[in-house]
Chain A
């Protein structure tokens, strides 16, 4: 049976990393789930691109950060912060599609 990411994550958030990038953090409750996500490559640029409806080339990178069992994903902002058409100046409410990840 598939499990929800909500059962293993303690933080899922989004934020600007400068006005041109959006960065997504997933912090795990337990080291073993973090390791499982890394080993099984559950988060890939392809999956992120599909979740957000963007090109794979717009996914700048996925970094596994061991000191706090976290995965960091950085995307191109679809509209730079504050440019016409932007809807989230701080980029703090763009994480919802990640909440639906199952594994």
Chain B
């Protein structure tokens, strides 16, 4: 199986890809998604990757896959994997098909879950929060703008069964992209999922690591072998095992749709020519097939302003200055009945770690302040940001020696509208009895209706 890149749109060297094609893979797979970029993209229905970059990656995959009869599977379209993201990716696929005169059956699997379905499960007390996530309430659910579920291998297999040569999935458990065709072909579920988990990050698990290079996975009856398709990289026992830790809370037990990948008995063996063989990964099905739900709610709009401070007196008094400005702003907002909040990100003091910063009492010789105003309406967030900026600019404080202005603005305009703001509201498990919850659509791409290909 050929994995060209860690995230669709991150790119890869053409040479590595072509080296992979010469090995005649049975699948070209790519994961496009993550919750890492935060709640905005699911809420706004936009991709965190660039359209031109996604199109470039997909062109390689589709041209070589379709012309050589190799299935292409894409997981978590558009990053967040909801309906607008899937449509965005489908349009790119159709454009490429037209430009390259490709014809194929496209399977689309949606991951959107209607609120009513979650509400019914909630009523049965069947929705459980993941660690540190508040229990889901009917109110939170009603406020959530978009909910997706991470699909497992089953809907992907169903699309392949329907003769689809290209499968475009909404939000998808990352390893399922690679594991689905393998399990469908009769390979061990544990090994297929574990291989998928490594392949979905492509060369990140190799050394030197890269999110933008191709790797090959060879699945066998009782093991799988990983190899880099760029001679500059190789897999080592340490690089492969270390990858298993990445972004997971317990590297031995990796829960996913329908069960758990157990790596307690797993071994990593180095083979010649920079390859690693993995054995002993086991899949343990859970009594109930559960999927992970992801949802966000809109909390309003954000406006920010960025400014620097170089005055040592002000830096020495920065806590008092910001508290004084906040008090003055709050008074005006409450008098004018404007709802909203302001946060100060103070770089050079604790901009990265906030209250957890152990060195926050020892600020640098200059500070970067980001005024971060969030309010229910765009107009109010702009008003709060503007008021906070102007108040901070001319705020008097004890010992002040520079009276012309407290802030150095790098830009005019000083304030930037960041658009809608969202927060994660759903991150829960829900049982799924019928896989048809993942709606499927089949399209003949590049063929005239009723005509011959």
Contact = CB atoms under 8 A, between A and B. Distances in A.
Interface stretch (B18-26, B30-38, B119-127, B445-453): B30-38
A19 B242 contact: no
B353 A94 contact: yes
A11 interface: yes
Contacts of B351: 87
Contact of B35 (A68, A78, A81, A93): A81
B427 A18 contact: yes
B226 interface: no
Contacts, number: 134
Contact of A23 (B238, B248, B266, B424): B248
Nearest to A29: B238
Interface in A41-91: 51-54, 58, 60-61, 63, 65, 67-68, 70, 72, 74, 76-85, 87-90
B337 interface: no
B247 A87 contact: no
Nearest to A25: B245
Contacts of A25: 242, 245-246
Contact of B353 (A27, A58, A96): A96
Contacts of A85: 343, 354
Interface stretch (B50-58, B106-114, B130-138, B397-405): B130-138
Nearest to B238: A68
Contact of B251 (A58, A65, A81, A97): A65
A60 B345 CA distance: 27
A13 to B, nearest CB: 9
Name which of A67, A76, A83, A90 has the most chain B CB atoms within 10 A of its CB.
Answer: A67
Interface residues of A, number: 44
Interface string B360-402: 0000000000001010000000000000000000000000000
Contacts of B39: 19, 81-83
Given A20-B427, A72-B245, A82 B251 contact: no
B370 to A, nearest CB: 9
Nearest to B253: A63
A54 B356 contact: yes
B279 to A, nearest CB: 12
Given A27-B242, A82-B422, A85-B343, A18 B355 contact: no
B128 to A, nearest CB: 14
B423 A68 contact: no
Given A18-B35, A89-B36, A60 B249 contact: yes
B60 interface: no
A23 B343 CA distance: 25
B299 interface: yes
Contacts of B251: 63, 65, 70, 72
Given A84-B374, A96-B353, A16 B247 contact: yes
A64 to B, nearest CB: 10
A80 B249 contact: no
Contacts of A53: 355-356, 358
Contact of B245 (A16, A18, A58, A70): A70
A61 B250 contact: yes
B423 A83 contact: yes
B168 to A, nearest CB: 24
A63 B35 contact: no
Contacts of B345: 87
Contact of A84 (B237, B238, B248, B421): B421
Contacts of B409: none
Contacts of A82: 38-40, 422-424
B299 A68 contact: no
A93 B427 contact: no
B64 interface: no
A77 B263 CA distance: 26
B242 A70 contact: yes
A100 B409 CA distance: 35
Contacts of B355: 53, 78
B241 interface: yes
Interface of B: 35-40, 130-133, 237-238, 241-242, 244-252, 263, 266-268, 299, 341, 343, 345, 351-356, 358, 372, 374, 421-424, 427
Interface of A: 11, 15-21, 23, 25, 27, 51-54, 58, 60-61, 63, 65, 67-68, 70, 72, 74, 76-85, 87-90, 93-94, 96-97, 100
30 contacts: A11-B242, A15-B246, A17-B248, A17-B249, A18-B130, A20-B130, A20-B131, A20-B133, A20-B427, A23-B249, A25-B246, A27-B238, A53-B358, A58-B132, A60-B131, A63-B252, A67-B241, A67-B263, A70-B241, A76-B131, A78-B355, A81-B39, A82-B39, A82-B40, A82-B424, A84-B423, A85-B354, A87-B352, A90-B37, A93-B353
What are the 10 tightest A-B residue pairs by CB atom distance, in nearest-first order? A82-B38, A68-B241, A67-B241, A74-B249, A76-B132, A83-B423, A82-B39, A89-B38, A20-B132, A68-B242
